[in-house]
Amino acid sequence: MPSRPATEEARIPAGEPELTGYRRLFSRPGTLAFTTGNLVARLPVGMFSVSAVVMIAGSRGSYALAGAVTATGLVATGVAGPWIARLVDRYGQARVALPATFTAVLGSLALLLCVRFGAPDWTLFAAYVSTAATPNIGGLSRARWAHLLRDDPGALHTANSFEQAADELCFMLGPVLASFLTGTFFPEAGTLAGAVLLLTGMLLFTAQRATEPPPLARSKGPSPLRSPGIPPLLACFTATGAVFGSMEVATIAYADAQGHRSAAGVVLALQAAGSCAAGLLFGARRPAGVRLGHCLAGMAVLMALPWAAAVTAGSLPALAGALLIAGMATAPTMVTAMTLVQSRTPPDRLNEGMSLVVTALLTGIACGSAAGGWAAEHLSPSTAYAVPAAAAALALLIHTGGQWAKADGTATP
């Protein structure tokens, strides 16, 4: 099927959901129950990476090893994600997501035991790769809303707004909870709690069979990778993911060097809070004429602030303020790029297109995590903040290069 027409100027859908719309959403039978389970299962998504870095670095004394392990797991997740999503579409959520979650939980517990009992380094990689079976939890919830509200576009927009807010909330609370648990109790506490929450939430979520969308026949449409403009966007998502991954590892290392390891989660939560606030403002105002290039340029500028704060001020409060401001560039960039992906992906392959976006992001996060860990250990935690700044600049260069290629007629319009 042909792609929907795309414009470089991606807009937020017209119309803003009213506050009463959320009450109307959750008045539908089963929606509150599946949302509760999904939120419980989604919270660990923001916990696992921080917990693993703290646990491994604390036990083995190497941020490079911790970054490499988490990077390997993220790459595996990026590879496995589209395949798991296809299985979910074909066989149903409960039949696929529940056994996949069990596999991921066993991988987390295996990692915990390997760290706890001093197993060889290679076992850490093997155990963490198993967590790649974790299904796209937010995607499962969005699929249910799309099924339930397929005849009510206004309510579906309200549901999607809620899901985006839920994502930001989990990424704000997850690192804070992980840092609190690992710093207050024992290094493995964050991983253990995350595994319990993931399994409990997924059991609650998949138990709500009445709201589960029916399995779909396998689409025979063209791959989204063949859609015009998608490959350059995926490259931008990869570079943007590197910003996230390197920033996380650099912040943990910097807080540790300042003697406040447990505060790393709070500092990272401020970055997510800045993104959340900017996203809400960006959606409410719908600024005219804003293109992806503008957002990427803003991100390239703002991501240099944490590097400057870490090198010049040398204090955790100054870094926290810089991360809050830098985070404000993230949501507008993601919203604009995501809208372009949706507009350029064949409608019958939209889930696959979104899975490719997740794969690109996770690949970038993995590369950024490894690069940030290496820089923190071999250079300094302050210098490690140059990695996310460079990744943001790379995303802008990729996009700019693509626009020049279009102007020269060497790229598909």
Inter-CA distances, 351 with 86, 142, 224, Å? 8, 10, 10
Is residue 134 predicted with pLDDT exceeding 70?
Answer: yes
Task: Classify residue 404 by burial, with Cβ atoms within 10 Å: 0-12, 13-18, 19+.
Answer: exposed
For 156-209, what is each residue's pLDDT tens digit?
A: 666 766 776 677 778 778 877 888 898 888 888 999 999 999 999 999 999 999
Q: Among 19-23, 149-153, 215-219, 252-256, which is the least confidently predicted range?
A: 19-23
List, as one string, the DSSP characters of 73-132.
HHHHHHHHHHHHHHHHHHH-HHHHHHHHHHHHHHHHHHHHHHHHTT--HHHHHHHHHGGG
Amino acid identity at 310: A
Q: Please give the pLDDT value at position 386.
A: 93
Is residue 301 predicted with pLDDT exceeding 50?
Answer: yes
Domains along the sequence of the chain with CATH: 28-216 (1.20.1250.20), 224-413 (1.20.1250.20)
Q: Among 72-81, 193-202, 353-362, which is the least confidently predicted range?
A: 353-362
